[in-house]
Amino acid sequence: LHLSFRGRRALVTGAGKGIGRAVAVALSRAGARVTALSRTGADLESLTRECPGIETLCLDLADWEAVEAAVGAAGPFELLVNNAAVAELQPFLEVTRSALQRSLDVNFGAVLHVSQIVARQMIAQGVQGAIVNVSSQASKRALRDHAVYCSTKSALDMLSKVMAMELGPHKIRVNTVNPTVVMTDMGRINWSDPQKSAAMINRIPLGKFAEVEDVVNSILFLLSDKSAMTTGSSLMIDGGFLAV
Protein backbone atom coordinates (compact mmCIF):
# COMPACT_ATOMS: atom_id res chain seq x y z
CA LEU A 1 0.00 0.00 0.00
CA HIS A 2 1.82 3.11 -1.16
CA LEU A 3 0.73 6.25 0.68
CA SER A 4 1.65 9.70 -0.56
CA PHE A 5 1.13 12.83 1.49
CA ARG A 6 2.73 15.12 -1.05
CA GLY A 7 2.04 18.76 -0.23
CA ARG A 8 -0.13 17.95 2.82
CA ARG A 9 0.66 19.90 5.98
CA ALA A 10 0.96 17.80 9.13
CA LEU A 11 1.37 18.55 12.84
CA VAL A 12 2.75 15.79 15.08
CA THR A 13 2.92 16.27 18.86
CA GLY A 14 5.47 14.51 21.05
CA ALA A 15 7.67 14.21 17.98
CA GLY A 16 11.02 14.40 19.78
CA LYS A 17 11.22 10.71 20.67
CA GLY A 18 9.61 7.33 20.15
CA ILE A 19 6.46 6.86 18.10
CA GLY A 20 5.87 10.56 17.40
CA ARG A 21 9.36 11.04 16.04
CA ALA A 22 8.97 8.03 13.73
CA VAL A 23 5.61 9.34 12.49
CA ALA A 24 7.13 12.75 11.73
CA VAL A 25 9.98 11.14 9.75
CA ALA A 26 7.64 8.79 7.85
CA LEU A 27 5.26 11.61 6.93
CA SER A 28 8.12 13.81 5.80
CA ARG A 29 9.55 10.99 3.65
CA ALA A 30 6.08 10.48 2.14
CA GLY A 31 6.05 14.11 0.99
CA ALA A 32 4.21 15.92 3.79
CA ARG A 33 5.27 19.29 5.14
CA VAL A 34 5.73 18.33 8.77
CA THR A 35 5.72 20.45 11.91
CA ALA A 36 7.12 18.52 14.86
CA LEU A 37 6.09 19.70 18.33
CA SER A 38 7.89 18.54 21.45
CA ARG A 39 9.34 19.69 24.74
CA THR A 40 13.09 18.99 24.65
CA GLY A 41 14.97 21.25 22.23
CA ALA A 42 17.87 18.82 21.70
CA ASP A 43 15.47 16.14 20.42
CA LEU A 44 14.01 18.54 17.88
CA GLU A 45 17.47 19.64 16.76
CA SER A 46 18.52 16.04 16.14
CA LEU A 47 15.23 15.43 14.31
CA THR A 48 15.86 18.29 11.89
CA ARG A 49 19.40 16.98 11.34
CA GLU A 50 17.95 13.55 10.54
CA CYS A 51 15.19 14.96 8.38
CA PRO A 52 15.90 18.45 7.03
CA GLY A 53 12.74 20.26 6.05
CA ILE A 54 10.80 19.35 9.17
CA GLU A 55 9.77 22.46 11.08
CA THR A 56 9.72 22.44 14.85
CA LEU A 57 7.78 23.88 17.76
CA CYS A 58 9.44 23.56 21.16
CA LEU A 59 6.90 23.91 23.96
CA ASP A 60 5.14 22.18 26.83
CA LEU A 61 1.67 21.05 25.78
CA ALA A 62 0.42 21.61 29.32
CA ASP A 63 0.91 25.36 28.79
CA TRP A 64 -2.47 26.36 27.33
CA GLU A 65 -1.44 29.90 26.35
CA ALA A 66 1.82 28.82 24.71
CA VAL A 67 -0.06 26.18 22.69
CA GLU A 68 -2.68 28.69 21.60
CA ALA A 69 -0.06 31.13 20.31
CA ALA A 70 2.40 28.67 18.73
CA VAL A 71 0.00 26.18 17.12
CA GLY A 72 -2.28 28.96 15.93
CA ALA A 73 0.61 30.70 14.19
CA ALA A 74 2.07 27.50 12.69
CA GLY A 75 -1.11 26.32 10.93
CA PRO A 76 -3.15 25.62 8.94
CA PHE A 77 -2.73 21.82 8.78
CA GLU A 78 -4.68 19.08 7.00
CA LEU A 79 -3.26 16.29 9.18
CA LEU A 80 -2.87 16.14 12.96
CA VAL A 81 -1.37 13.40 15.12
CA ASN A 82 -1.95 13.93 18.83
CA ASN A 83 0.76 11.59 20.07
CA ALA A 84 2.36 13.20 23.15
CA ALA A 85 1.53 11.66 26.50
CA VAL A 86 3.02 10.93 29.90
CA ALA A 87 2.81 7.64 31.81
CA GLU A 88 3.43 8.07 35.52
CA LEU A 89 2.53 4.70 36.94
CA GLN A 90 1.46 4.64 40.58
CA PRO A 91 -0.59 2.24 42.69
CA PHE A 92 -4.13 3.58 42.99
CA LEU A 93 -3.74 4.28 46.73
CA GLU A 94 -0.62 6.37 46.04
CA VAL A 95 -1.76 8.47 43.09
CA THR A 96 -0.53 12.03 43.58
CA ARG A 97 -2.30 15.20 42.68
CA SER A 98 0.63 16.34 40.52
CA ALA A 99 0.68 13.12 38.47
CA LEU A 100 -3.08 13.33 38.02
CA GLN A 101 -2.98 16.97 36.93
CA ARG A 102 -0.03 16.55 34.58
CA SER A 103 -1.56 13.46 32.95
CA LEU A 104 -4.94 15.10 32.49
CA ASP A 105 -3.29 18.21 31.04
CA VAL A 106 -1.03 16.40 28.54
CA ASN A 107 -2.88 13.17 27.68
CA PHE A 108 -6.34 14.70 27.49
CA GLY A 109 -6.54 18.51 27.77
CA ALA A 110 -3.82 19.21 25.22
CA VAL A 111 -5.41 16.84 22.69
CA LEU A 112 -8.70 18.69 23.02
CA HIS A 113 -7.04 22.08 22.80
CA VAL A 114 -4.64 21.39 19.90
CA SER A 115 -7.50 19.72 18.00
CA GLN A 116 -9.75 22.74 18.54
CA ILE A 117 -7.14 25.09 17.13
CA VAL A 118 -6.30 22.87 14.16
CA ALA A 119 -9.92 21.95 13.36
CA ARG A 120 -11.03 25.57 13.44
CA GLN A 121 -8.36 26.35 10.86
CA MET A 122 -9.33 23.31 8.75
CA ILE A 123 -12.94 24.51 8.71
CA ALA A 124 -11.94 28.09 7.89
CA GLN A 125 -9.80 26.84 4.99
CA GLY A 126 -12.45 24.38 3.80
CA VAL A 127 -9.96 21.49 3.80
CA GLN A 128 -10.77 17.81 4.35
CA GLY A 129 -8.74 16.90 7.42
CA ALA A 130 -7.72 13.81 9.33
CA ILE A 131 -6.84 13.60 13.01
CA VAL A 132 -5.31 10.55 14.71
CA ASN A 133 -5.16 10.42 18.49
CA VAL A 134 -2.64 7.99 19.95
CA SER A 135 -4.45 6.07 22.66
CA SER A 136 -3.55 2.65 24.10
CA GLN A 137 -4.83 -0.82 24.87
CA ALA A 138 -4.90 0.65 28.39
CA SER A 139 -8.00 2.66 27.45
CA LYS A 140 -10.03 -0.54 27.31
CA ARG A 141 -8.51 -2.84 29.93
CA ALA A 142 -7.58 -2.25 33.58
CA LEU A 143 -3.82 -2.52 34.14
CA ARG A 144 -2.15 -2.51 37.58
CA ASP A 145 -0.70 0.91 38.61
CA HIS A 146 -2.33 2.51 35.54
CA ALA A 147 -5.36 4.17 37.23
CA VAL A 148 -4.56 7.62 35.86
CA TYR A 149 -3.07 6.51 32.54
CA CYS A 150 -5.92 4.09 31.73
CA SER A 151 -8.47 6.75 32.62
CA THR A 152 -6.91 9.50 30.50
CA LYS A 153 -6.70 7.14 27.51
CA SER A 154 -10.29 6.02 28.02
CA ALA A 155 -11.38 9.66 28.09
CA LEU A 156 -9.34 10.21 24.92
CA ASP A 157 -11.22 7.42 23.11
CA MET A 158 -14.54 9.01 23.99
CA LEU A 159 -13.32 12.51 23.11
CA SER A 160 -12.32 11.15 19.71
CA LYS A 161 -15.81 9.75 19.09
CA VAL A 162 -17.50 13.05 19.96
CA MET A 163 -14.98 14.90 17.79
CA ALA A 164 -15.77 12.48 14.94
CA MET A 165 -19.46 13.22 15.41
CA GLU A 166 -19.15 17.00 15.49
CA LEU A 167 -16.38 17.36 12.89
CA GLY A 168 -17.75 14.80 10.41
CA PRO A 169 -20.05 17.32 8.73
CA HIS A 170 -16.92 19.42 8.08
CA LYS A 171 -15.26 16.40 6.38
CA ILE A 172 -12.75 16.01 9.19
CA ARG A 173 -12.15 12.39 10.27
CA VAL A 174 -11.02 11.50 13.80
CA ASN A 175 -9.72 8.07 14.84
CA THR A 176 -7.51 6.54 17.51
CA VAL A 177 -4.77 3.94 17.40
CA ASN A 178 -4.51 1.73 20.48
CA PRO A 179 -1.17 -0.05 20.70
CA THR A 180 0.01 -2.62 23.19
CA VAL A 181 3.42 -2.05 24.79
CA VAL A 182 6.09 -0.59 22.48
CA MET A 183 9.71 -0.49 23.69
CA THR A 184 10.25 3.25 23.34
CA ASP A 185 11.60 5.26 26.29
CA MET A 186 8.11 5.16 27.80
CA GLY A 187 7.86 1.40 27.23
CA ARG A 188 11.32 0.72 28.63
CA ILE A 189 10.68 2.73 31.81
CA ASN A 190 7.50 0.82 32.55
CA TRP A 191 8.02 -2.66 31.08
CA SER A 192 11.71 -3.54 31.44
CA ASP A 193 11.10 -5.83 34.42
CA PRO A 194 11.28 -9.27 32.74
CA GLN A 195 8.62 -10.83 34.97
CA LYS A 196 6.18 -8.01 34.34
CA SER A 197 6.77 -8.00 30.58
CA ALA A 198 6.54 -11.80 30.34
CA ALA A 199 3.16 -11.71 32.10
CA MET A 200 1.92 -9.15 29.56
CA ILE A 201 3.34 -11.00 26.55
CA ASN A 202 1.59 -14.17 27.78
CA ARG A 203 -1.74 -12.37 27.42
CA ILE A 204 -1.03 -11.27 23.82
CA PRO A 205 -2.11 -13.91 21.25
CA LEU A 206 0.68 -12.91 18.84
CA GLY A 207 3.15 -13.36 21.72
CA LYS A 208 5.10 -10.12 21.37
CA PHE A 209 4.99 -6.38 21.93
CA ALA A 210 4.35 -3.96 19.05
CA GLU A 211 7.15 -2.32 17.08
CA VAL A 212 7.22 1.44 16.50
CA GLU A 213 6.78 0.69 12.79
CA ASP A 214 3.50 -1.19 13.44
CA VAL A 215 2.07 1.93 15.06
CA VAL A 216 3.44 4.28 12.38
CA ASN A 217 1.86 2.18 9.60
CA SER A 218 -1.58 2.30 11.22
CA ILE A 219 -1.36 6.04 11.88
CA LEU A 220 -0.39 6.75 8.27
CA PHE A 221 -3.26 4.57 7.03
CA LEU A 222 -5.76 6.50 9.18
CA LEU A 223 -4.35 9.84 7.99
CA SER A 224 -4.57 8.78 4.36
CA ASP A 225 -7.41 8.74 1.87
CA LYS A 226 -7.25 4.91 1.96
CA SER A 227 -9.34 5.15 5.14
CA ALA A 228 -11.70 7.76 3.72
CA MET A 229 -14.85 6.14 5.21
CA THR A 230 -13.38 5.47 8.67
CA THR A 231 -14.06 7.91 11.49
CA GLY A 232 -14.83 7.60 15.20
CA SER A 233 -13.05 4.26 15.33
CA SER A 234 -10.21 2.78 17.39
CA LEU A 235 -7.66 0.65 15.57
CA MET A 236 -6.11 -1.93 17.90
CA ILE A 237 -2.40 -2.59 17.44
CA ASP A 238 -2.37 -5.02 20.32
CA GLY A 239 -1.53 -8.43 18.86
CA GLY A 240 -5.01 -9.53 19.95
CA PHE A 241 -4.68 -8.53 23.65
CA LEU A 242 -8.20 -7.11 23.77
CA ALA A 243 -9.76 -10.00 21.88
CA VAL A 244 -9.16 -12.51 24.65
Among 75, 109, 129, 179, binds ligand NDP (CB under 6 A): 179
| Near ligand NDP by CB under 6 A: residue from 74, 134, 147, 150 | 134
Per CB under 6 A, 84 contacts ligand NDP:
yes
Q: Rounded to 5 degrees, what are φ and ψ at 174?
A: -135, 120
Q: Least distance in Å: CB of 88 to ligand NDP?
A: 11
Sites for ligand NDP among residues 192-231 (CB under 6 A): none
- Maximum C-alpha span of the chain: 52
| Residue 160 touches ligand NDP, criterion: CB under 6 A | no
Which residue in the shown chain puts its C-beta closest to ligand NDP?
18
Q: Which of 149, 191, 209, 241 is catalytic?
A: 149
Point out which residues pair with 81 in neighbouring strands.
Answer: 12, 132
Residue 20 vs 239, nearer CB to ligand NDP: 20
State the Cα–Cα distance between residues 218 and 142, nearest whole angstrom.
Answer: 24
CA distances (Å), origin 131, targets 31, 204, 219? 18, 28, 9
Q: Which amino acid is at 204?
A: I
Number of residues near ligand NDP (by CB under 6 A) = 28
Catalytic residue flag (residue 64): no
Within the chain, where are the H helices? 18-29, 41-50, 64-74, 97-103, 110-125, 147-167, 185-191, 194-202, 212-223
Q: Is 239 in the site for ligand NDP (CB under 6 A)?
A: no
For residues 197 and 228, the answer to whether their CB atoms sit within 8 Å is: no
Q: Mark 22-51 with x for binding to ligand NDP (rule: CB under 6 A) and - for no binding.
A: ----------------xxx--x--------
Q: Are 144 and 196 in contact (CB under 8 A)?
A: no
Q: Could you give the residue numbers annotated as active site?
A: 149
Q: Which residues in this chain contact ligand NDP in the complex, by CB under 6 A?
A: 14, 16-20, 38-40, 43, 60-62, 83-87, 106, 134, 136, 179, 181-182, 184-187
